[in-house]
A = this chain, B = another copy of it.
Amino acid sequence: MKFSIDRARFINQTSNVQRAISTKTTIPILTGMKLDLTETGLTITGSNSDISITSFISKDDADNDLKIESVGSIVLPARFFNEIIKKLPGDNFKLEVLDNNQTLITSGVSEFTINGLDAVNYPHLPDVETDNQLVLPTDVFKEVVNQTVIAVSTQESRPVLTGVNFLITSEGLTAVATDSHRLSQRKINLTSDEDYNLIIPGKSLTELVRTLNDSVKEVSMSISENQVLFSFDNIMFYSRLLDGRYPETDRLIPDESNTRLTFDSSKMLSSVERASLLSHESRNNVIKLEIKAVDKKATLYGNSPEVGTVEEVLDCESIEGDDLEISFNPDYLKDALRSFGSNTMIEMSFTSPLHPFTLRPVEDSDNFVQLITPVRTF
């Protein structure tokens, strides 16, 4: 294996693949980055037990300045290899595999000899059939992920809850996540010939969304029994799926309410951020919302015995229904409010002090709901 390549182009591609590589893996070869050189170009691969990412640098794209002398494969220690490439002096670098997987990297006045590993021992990538692809606009897909992934559980006690449930039917795609204290559900239109019900790990989705920069217009999704493959540009992103049945969540979302507020998401977020400054200092991290519908007044209260108290009169568009006092974790409300984007008009609906309440965008209330369970304080 021997080639030379444009350094900036190469760095660009390794930075994507790098997301899949962990230094804390129990399989030593997975701390490495795999390079496969064929007559058509160079494929870079990174992997951990959950995700695998490959990026292809084509010989045909003149900007890559890829000159191939001999094909082959090698696995190089990812962290060093990347640091070395980033610091090399030239615009290009040469890479040559010598005997015993020793790899010579030269650029300008610098010459590195790195101990590589035999690529034969690198795990195989999952087999995913790509005949039946679902195609999604990147901006919509990123929105769905960002709006739901906030509610996935970080506890491993119920593994399915660490993922987002994607339900794909003839009616479209429904994405749901819940950690049993809060829930987020988003629906979008999507045409699919087949029905799917899959649970994608939240961490995979977070990494995937980071890989999707603004130049990517569409993402193709291919689903197999225990893997999902997202492909875009020259990148293939594999994630394992979570085993098990995702709980039925539809019945958790109340369809009636006794008290309703409407407000601007950004104004409310600022108020909650202030109120939570003090609740974060108290042991139970709870703030209280008091609604006096007759007076058209809603007030947030936060306190910490050590530091002091805070009182925020909320700037609401409308206040309707019964009076109410309800307490909850302000961080859940902050996450929910951020998921709607800035300056979006929100309806917040309550049944009683001990029942979950919902937040929906006024403009698209059927397709997006955030649900939060209150905290009993009496």
Contacts and interface: CB of A to CB of B under 8 A. Distances in A.
A109 interface: yes
B310 A110 contact: yes
Nearest to A77: B307
B114 A308 contact: yes
Interface in A254-273: 270-271, 273
10 contacts: A83-B277, A87-B270, A102-B308, A103-B308, A109-B313, A109-B314, A110-B311, A110-B312, A111-B310, A115-B306
Copies in the complex: 2
Given A109-B315, A315-B109, A87 B310 contact: no
Interface string A113-128: 1110000000000000
A71 interface: no
Contact of A112 (B102, B273, B308, B314): B308
A288 B246 CA distance: 60
Nearest to A109: B313
A274 interface: yes
A144 B31 CA distance: 44
Contact of A277 (B84, B115, B274): B84
Interface of A: 77, 80, 83-84, 87-89, 102-103, 109-115, 270-271, 273-274, 277-278, 281, 306-315
Give the one of A80, A313, A315 with max B CB within 10 A. Answer: A80
Nearest to A270: B89
Contact of A273 (B87, B278, B309): B87
Contacts of A84: 274, 277
A88 B307 contact: no
B114 A307 contact: yes
Nearest to A314: B109
Contacts of A80: 277-278, 281, 307-308
A164 to B, nearest CB: 31
B309 A112 contact: yes
A118 to B, nearest CB: 16
Contact of A115 (B87, B113, B308): B308
A115 B309 CA distance: 9
A298 to B, nearest CB: 11
Contact of A310 (B112, B306, B307, B309): B112
Nearest to A273: B87
B314 A274 contact: no
Given A84-B277, A110-B312, A114-B308, 4 more contacts: A80-B307, A87-B274, A112-B278, A115-B308
Given A112-B308, A115-B308, A307-B115, A277 B87 contact: yes
A91 to B, nearest CB: 14
The list of the 9 closest CB pairs from A to B, nearest first, reads: A114-B308, A109-B313, A111-B311, A113-B309, A112-B310, A113-B308, A87-B274, A115-B308, A80-B307
